[in-house]
């Protein structure tokens, strides 16, 4: 029986080889008709044998192209015959609905790599080689539909050879929008630190770059989502020079290798980590450093991990080829600013850091940082979700009834748009502390709203009145419904959404700081939480944070506060180097600030307790990056089994005191216990505490699920210990995977909480 059917496919189906895939299937089934990209995705108008059409639909559902992500396949039948003579791929229709997701950027594929290093290929060593299955996407898209004129590749008219590949449905570059060659496409060039071009061209550029790197010089390299600063990772003088110039004292640098084998020389790789390293997203993976690793300590001081990624663009592959060693590849920025992505501003901002610039003339439309991941208890955990992942939507089990914008937190900001069963979580924006970052936040929101045709009528935000993301939300038009979501409820809800659960859980939120509903700074919290509500059932007792934000930079202040509470004012006589190191005069000032309550916000933060303990162990009195003390505390912990310090829990179970822990830490240290053991006992103590509170809550509320969220749970040792304890006591543990446990996941949590409240008919 002959019939005509229109098939609308939605999801990530543009720019992933979908039309040629349909074209080949239609030919195999002798069908006639048209296939095109439309604003909703891919539209197939097909006529022929009804059973052949069924086969086509089955194939689309069961065997779609590797990079596609199908959301729905809709059939419209009963159409009048169109009498097509053949099957063709036709031009996209510009249109109004515009809701097609854009693919994330994809690492160069094997087929392209093969050609890249084949002297007989016309793209031999061409650093922008790509095809339908790989290459830039999100970073070059300016508008939808995803077609060359709507990308930054519009600057490069195709040559005849490229065009014939692009137009041939049987070619693997058919409608690969960024297709290019040395004849017609983007070019690399080399310039000095002032931006003056050097005469080298083509292959000489890379030979020259390798020579510079071998001399220990620092190179700014323009990649996919922005500029990196690169140097020889095995040359400690070069690494230290980079640290000095970038004003980045201790924060670990990421490394780039050309292959898995190269990574193996420096780090231990599990199967799960190998998979992650080689995945199309090519994130940085935090790996255990090999003890005999020749990578200098200055690459990642104070930790026993190395963050590696494998080259993901052809440019990186050409650069690394025949270098034989990994490169430091850290984001090209000045300490807290966002990563540079425009050629001119990169030169003006990085000229004091980079000796030379390896640049190119393909514009980056949206800056994206490298994504950062770590495998914890066998589960890949996103620590920074950006290049390679964003803007792929996260499927949610809950449905967003109204289109929604969630503005996220202040540090590690992301925003999130919700529609239907999808959350469009943004790339990593950064810390909203300066104009540049705020601008990429506001521009990012506009870009996402345009790309995905989302016009939010609801806005969710954090309760912290000073967050710039909160101020942004409150300044938006009053016709929008605005819903404030408590920071740690957002953490727990984010973890629930990550795991696709909607039932009530015991929520354990441990992080640095977040604004509590009592106006204090929370961060060591236990909840009975659902998506719409969170009842705080227990928390770490409040302590003053003398000097506010200064106490975050100087953990010794927290250590002193805890010591004073545990031992009284005589604590200064304790015979420990870390205590003796406390500046008495400074402490006197802080003491009177605490007495008078001047600039001493109260906090229940677990992150701050980690800081205090790290300080007692003599690890550091001041930190150079967020979470440094806690990271180093985890790094030194002995992996041998041990007992844990015991927290005090009030008889009603609501208030947890860390004072017995502080006392025990001091006693152990005075008696000469090693700090490796003390750190391990502290970690176990926190895990035991979580078990104790969770068991009690489970008995009282009949809940079995425990969700762990907040930045403290980036700590692999703690997650491991906690998960094992909870599991063996019959509880079900939910941890993060697709979105970060840190504040990068807050926006997703805000979105699902606001949505759940709307379903209940309220906004509070």
> Could you tell which of Fe ion, Zn ion, none binds residue 716, using a CB distance below 5 to 8 A set by kind?
none
Given CA atoms 752, 756, 761, 764 in this order, what sign does their dihedral have?
A: negative
Show the site string, 500-519: x = touches Fe ion by CB under 5 A, - = not. Answer: -----------x--x-----
Q: Which residue is nearest to Fe ion (CB)?
A: 511
CB 205, min distance to Zn ion, A: 19
Residue 183 binds which entry of Zn ion, Fe ion, none, CB below 5-8 Å type-dependent: Zn ion
Tokens coding 490: 């957002």
Q: What is the nearest approach in angstroms of Zn ion to the Cβ of residue 177?
A: 13
Backbone angles phi, psi at 476, to 5 degrees: -70, 165
Rounded least distance, CB 64 to Fe ion, Å:
37
Closest approach of Zn ion to the CB of residue 171, in Å:
12
Closest C-alpha to 80, from 164, 185, 3: 3
Closest approach of Cβ 416 to Fe ion, in Å? 15
Per-position x/- string for 6-45, each x denoting binding to Fe ion as judged by CB under 5 A, each - no binding: ----------------------------------------
The values of phi and psi at residue 157, to 5°, are: -60, 135
Cβ-based neighbours of 407, under 8 Å, separated by 6 or more:
415, 459, 460, 461, 462, 469, 470, 472, 473, 747, 750
Residue 62 burial by Cβ neighbours in a 10 Å radius (0-12, 13-18, 19+) = exposed
Return the number of the residue (13 or 134) whose C-beta is nearest Zn ion. Answer: 134
As measured in angstroms, the least distance from the Cβ of 313 to Zn ion is: 11
Closest contact distance (angstroms) between CB of 372 and Zn ion is 25
SS3 404: strand
Transcribe 414-450 into DSSP letters.
--EEEEEEEEEEPPP-B-TTSHHHHHHHHHHHHHHHH
Nearest CB to Fe ion, comparing residues 123 and 412: 412
Map residue 168 onto helix, strand or coil. Answer: coil
Cβ proximity to Fe ion, 231 vs 411, nearer residue: 411
743 binds, among Fe ion, Zn ion, none (CB under 5 to 8 A by kind): Fe ion
Nearer to Zn ion, 160 or 570 (CB): 160
Question: In terms of C-beta distances under 8 Å and separation of at least 24 residues, what long-range contacts does 594-597 make, across chains too?
Answer: 594/544, 594/546, 594/561, 597/544
CB count within 10 Å of CB 463 equals 17
Query: Is the Cβ–Cβ distance between 311 and 320 less than 8 Å?
Result: yes
Q: Which does 165 bind (CB under 5 to 8 A by kind): Zn ion, Fe ion, none?
A: none
Number of residues this chain uses to bind Fe ion (CB under 5 A): 3
Quick one: what does residue 514 bind among Zn ion, Fe ion, none, with the CB cut-off 5 to 8 Å set by partner type? Fe ion
Four-residue CA torsion sign, 486, 487, 488, 490: positive
| Token code pair at residue 223 | 């990649």
Q: Which does 162 bind (CB under 5 to 8 A by kind): Fe ion, Zn ion, none?
A: Zn ion
Closest to Fe ion by CB, 364 or 534: 534
112 or 376: whose CB is closer to Zn ion?
Answer: 112
Q: Report the first-to-last Cα separation within the chain, whole angstroms.
A: 58
- Closest contact distance (angstroms) between CB of 531 and Fe ion is 18
Residue 568 tokens read as 């009284």
The DSSP secondary structure of 47-60, one letter per residue, reads: EEEHHHHHHHHHHH
The nearest distance, CB 105 to Zn ion, in angstroms, is 12
67, interface contact from Zn ion, Fe ion, none, CB < 5-8 Å by kind: none
Residue 260 interaction partner, one of Fe ion, Zn ion, none, beta carbon < 5-8 Å per kind: none
Closest CB 28 distance from Fe ion, rounded Å:
53
Taking the complex as a whole, how short is the minimal distance between the CB of residue 314 and Zn ion, in angstroms?
A: 9
Of Zn ion, Fe ion, none, which one does residue 191 interact with (CB within 5 to 8 Å by kind)?
none
Which H/E stretch holds residue 192?
Answer: strand 188-192
| Strand partners of residue 360 | 188
* Nearer to Zn ion among residue 183 and residue 518 (C-beta): 183
Q: Which of 689, 673, 672, 551 is nearest to 612 (CA)?
A: 551
Question: Shortest gap between Cβ of 491 and Fe ion (angstroms)?
Answer: 6
Q: Which is nearer to Fe ion, 440 or 494 (CB)?
A: 494
Residues 719-748 that bind Fe ion (CB under 5 A): 743
For Fe ion, the closer of residues 272 and 463 by Cβ is: 463
Q: Which of 224/616 has CB closer to Zn ion?
A: 224
Joined tokens for residue 726: 């909870």
- Measured from the CB atom, the residue of 462 and 634 that comes closer to Fe ion is 462
340 binds, among Zn ion, Fe ion, none (CB under 5 to 8 A by kind): none
CA-to-CA dists, residue 407 to 102, 184, 383, 473, angstroms:
21, 41, 19, 7
- Interior CA angle at 412 toward 410 and 418, to 5°? 85
| Count, residues in the chain | 764
Please choose which of Fe ion, Zn ion, none residue 177 contacts, taking the beta carbon within 5 to 8 angstroms, the exact cut-off set by kind: none
Binding site for Zn ion (CB under 5 A): 109, 112, 131, 133-134, 159, 162, 181, 183-184
- Which tokens belong to 364? 């980056």
Q: Restricting to residues 261-290, name those near Fe ion by CB under 5 A.
A: none
Q: Of 59, 73, 90, which Cα lies nearest the Cα of 6?
A: 73
Name which of Zn ion, Fe ion, none residue 131 binds, using a CB cut-off of 5 to 8 Å depending on partner kind.
Zn ion
Binding partner at 145 among Fe ion, Zn ion, none, C-beta below 5 to 8 Å by kind: none
**Closer CB to Fe ion, 180 or 409, in the complex:** 409
Which residues does 200 contact at the CB level (< 8 Å), separation at least 6?
190, 207, 208
| CB closer to Fe ion out of 232 and 511 | 511
Q: How far is the CB of 308 from Zn ion (least distance, A)?
A: 23
In the complex, which residues of this chain contact Fe ion (CB under 5 A)? 511, 514, 743
């Amino acid at each position: 029986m002959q019939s005509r059917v229109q098939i609308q496919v939605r999801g990530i189906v543009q720019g992933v080889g979908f039309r040629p895939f349909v074209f080949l299937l239609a030919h195999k089934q002798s069908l006639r008709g048209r296939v095109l990209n439309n604003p909703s995705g891919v539209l197939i108008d097909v006529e022929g044998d009804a059973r052949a059409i069924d086969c086509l639909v089955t194939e689309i559902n069961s065997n779609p192209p590797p990079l596609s992500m199908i959301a729905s396949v809709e059939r419209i039948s009963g159409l009048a015959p169109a009498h097509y003579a053949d099957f063709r791929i036709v031009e996209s229709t510009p249109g109004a609905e515009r809701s097609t997701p854009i693919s994330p950027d994809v690492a160069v594929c094997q087929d392209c790599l093969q050609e890249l290093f084949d002297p007989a290929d016309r793209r031999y060593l061409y650093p922008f080689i790509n095809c339908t299955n790989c290459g830039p996407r999100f970073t070059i898209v300016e508008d939808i539909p995803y077609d060359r004129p709507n990308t930054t590749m519009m600057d490069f008219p195709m040559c005849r050879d490229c065009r014939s590949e692009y137009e041939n449905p049987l070619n693997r570059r058919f409608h690969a929008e960024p297709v290019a060659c040395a004849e017609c496409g983007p070019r690399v060039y080399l310039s000095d630190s002032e931006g003056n071009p050097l005469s080298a061209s083509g292959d000489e550029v890379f030979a020259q770059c390798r020579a510079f790197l071998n001399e220990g010089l620092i190179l700014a390299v323009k990649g996919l989502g922005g500029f990196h600063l690169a140097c020889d990772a095995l040359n400690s003088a070069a690494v230290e020079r980079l640290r000095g110039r970038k004003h980045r004292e201790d924060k670990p640098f990421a490394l780039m290798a050309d292959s898995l084998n190269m990574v193996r020389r420096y780090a231990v790789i599990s199967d799960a980590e190998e998979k992650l390293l080689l995945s199309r997203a090519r994130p940085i993976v935090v790996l255990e450093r090999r003890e005999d690793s020749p990578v200098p300590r200055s690459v990642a001081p104070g930790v026993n991990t190395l963050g590696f990624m494998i080259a993901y663009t052809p440019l990186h592959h050409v650069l690394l080829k025949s270098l034989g060693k990994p490169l430091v590849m850290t984001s090209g920025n000045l300490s807290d600013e966002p990563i540079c992505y425009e050629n001119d501003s990169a030169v003006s901002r990085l000229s004091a850091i980079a000796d030379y610039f390896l640049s190119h003339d393909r514009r980056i439309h949206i800056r994206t940082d490298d994504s950062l991941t770590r495998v914890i208890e066998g589960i890949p955990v996103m620590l920074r979700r950006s290049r390679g992942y964003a803007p792929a939507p996260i499927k949610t089990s809950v449905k967003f009834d109204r289109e929604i914008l969630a503005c996220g937190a202040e540090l590690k900001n992301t925003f999130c748009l919700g529609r239907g069963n999808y959350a469009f979580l943004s790339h990593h924006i950064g810390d909203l502390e300066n104009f540049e970052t705020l601008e990429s936040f506001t521009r990012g929101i506009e870009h996402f709203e345009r790309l995905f045709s989302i016009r939010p009528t609801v806005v969710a935000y954090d309760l912290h009145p000073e967050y710039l993301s909160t101020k942004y939300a409150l300044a938006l038009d009053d016709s929008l419904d605005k819903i404030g979501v408590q920071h740690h409820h957002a953490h727990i809800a984010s973890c629930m959404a990550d795991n696709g659960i909607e039932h009530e859980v015991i929520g354990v939120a441990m992080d640095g700081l977040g604004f509590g509903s009592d106006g204090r700074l929370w961060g060591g919290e236990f909840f009975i939480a659902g998506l719409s509500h969170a009842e705080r059932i227990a928390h770490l007792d409040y302590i003053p944070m003398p000097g506010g934000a200064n106490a975050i930079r100087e953990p010794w202040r927290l250590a002193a506060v805890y010591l004073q509470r545990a031992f009284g004012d005589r604590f200064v006589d304790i015979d420990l180097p870390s205590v003796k190191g406390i500046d008495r005069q400074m402490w006197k000032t802080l003491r009177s600030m605490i007495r008078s309550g001047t600039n001493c916000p109260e906090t229940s933060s677990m992150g701050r307790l980690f800081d205090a303990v790290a300080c007692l162990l003599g690890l550091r009195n001041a930190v150079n990056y967020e979470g440094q003390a806690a990271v180093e505390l985890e790094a030194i912990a002995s992996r041998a089994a041990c007992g844990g310090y015991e927290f005090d829990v009030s008889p009603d179970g609501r208030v947890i005191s860390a004072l017995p822990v502080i006392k025990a830490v001091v006693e152990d240290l005075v008696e000469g216990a090693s700090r490796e053991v003390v750190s391990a006992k502290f970690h176990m103590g926190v895990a035991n505490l979580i078990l104790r509170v969770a068991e009690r809550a489970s008995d009282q509320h009949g809940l079995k699920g425990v969700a762990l969220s907040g930045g403290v749970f980036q700590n692999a040792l703690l997650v491991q210990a906690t998960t094992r304890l909870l599991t063996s006591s019959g509880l079900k543990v939910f941890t993060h995977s697709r979105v970060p446990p840190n504040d990068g996941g807050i926006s997703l949590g805000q979105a699902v909480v606001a949505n759940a409240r709307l379903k209940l008919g309220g906004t509070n």
